[in-house]
Every structure is written in C-alpha cells, then in structure tokens.
Amino acid sequence: MLTPENNQTEIMRRQSDYKPPRSLSHWLIGRPLSTADAPHQTIGKAIGLAVFASDALSSTAYATQEIMVILAVAGTMAFGYVFPISIAIVLLMTIVTISYEQTVHAYPGGGGAYIVARDNLGELPAQIAGAALLTDYILTVAVSISAGVAQIVSAYPEVFPYRVW
C-alpha cells in the first residue's frame, strides 16, 4: 500500500522499441525546432541571397529577353528602343534599391512590404501589398519555368514537340 510515509516506492516506466511513424513533412524537412533553437538556425548572406533574392534577380534576368521578343514582333526598327528601355529598368532598380535601404534603416528588426505599408498607410494598403507579393511569388515561378523550358528547347531542339505551353 502506498502511503506518504512509505518512501520505498518505484516508478515503473514502460519500455518499448515501437516508434510512431513519422509524417512525410518530418521526413522531408526534419524535426520541428523548439523556440529555444530557432535563433541558432540562421543562414548566411550568400545562401540567403540565393534563396530570397530570386524574385528581384529573375525579373531583371528575364527583362532583356522579353524586351527583345516584344520588339522583334514590332520590327527591326524597334530595336532602337532597347537602350532607352534598359536605362528605364536600371533607373527603376536604383529607385527600388534606395527604397529598400531606407526600409532597412527604418525597420532594423526586419519589415516586409506588409508591415511597412500597415505602419505608414493603413490596413487596406498593407493587404494589397501582401496580395501583390503572393501573386508576384506565384508569377515568378511561372515565368521561371517558362523561361527554363524555352532555354532547354533552344539548346536541344529535338525536345520541341514535348514542351508544354
């Protein structure tokens, strides 16, 4: 009988080799991080740039090709517009870079388009910025896949009949 005076009790624990099956996400991604481990799981600038800057970099990478495609339809005389359009793109990227620099200084703890728009413009513009970002991320993937297919077909013309448009 267990009584408060009886200190001679042992706790029995079940021992089993059975482990519950892990989910597919656990197998692909790994175990969930505890909150205490999260600050130690950071990535460097080189990997961060490769992962998170793909949106801006892909837009500028595909711009020249798309300018040439559109101007080719307009005719060879329209190729004179390539340089002014390229200057406009460089000017736009400069404005975006200056804007990002100001945002980094104003929000040193981090602040994306949603947070900056919410703090400065209100809730509705912030939701529009968030929706625009989601749309942009989806379209970036679509454009990247289309450009990749076009590049593969141009390198290997024999796969032309197998492309999906």
69-97 burial: b if 16+ Cβ within 10 Å, else e: eebeeeeeeeeeeeeeeeeeeeeeeeeee
One digit per residue, pLDDT tens: the chain, 165 residues?
455 565 666 666 666 666 666 777 777 777 777 777 767 767 777 877 777 776 666 766 677 777 878 888 888 888 888 889 889 888 988 998 898 888 888 888 877 888 999 999 999 999 999 999 889 888 888 888 888 888 899 899 999 998 876
The answer to whether 63 and 82 are in contact (CB under 8 A) is no
Q: What is the SS3 assignment for 7?
A: coil
Q: How many Cβ atoms sit within 10 Å of the Cβ of residue 108? A: 7
| Residue range 91-112, pLDDT digits in tens | 988 998 898 888 888 888 877 8
Instruction: Work out whether the CA dihedral 124, 127, 129, 131 comes out positive or negative.
Output: negative
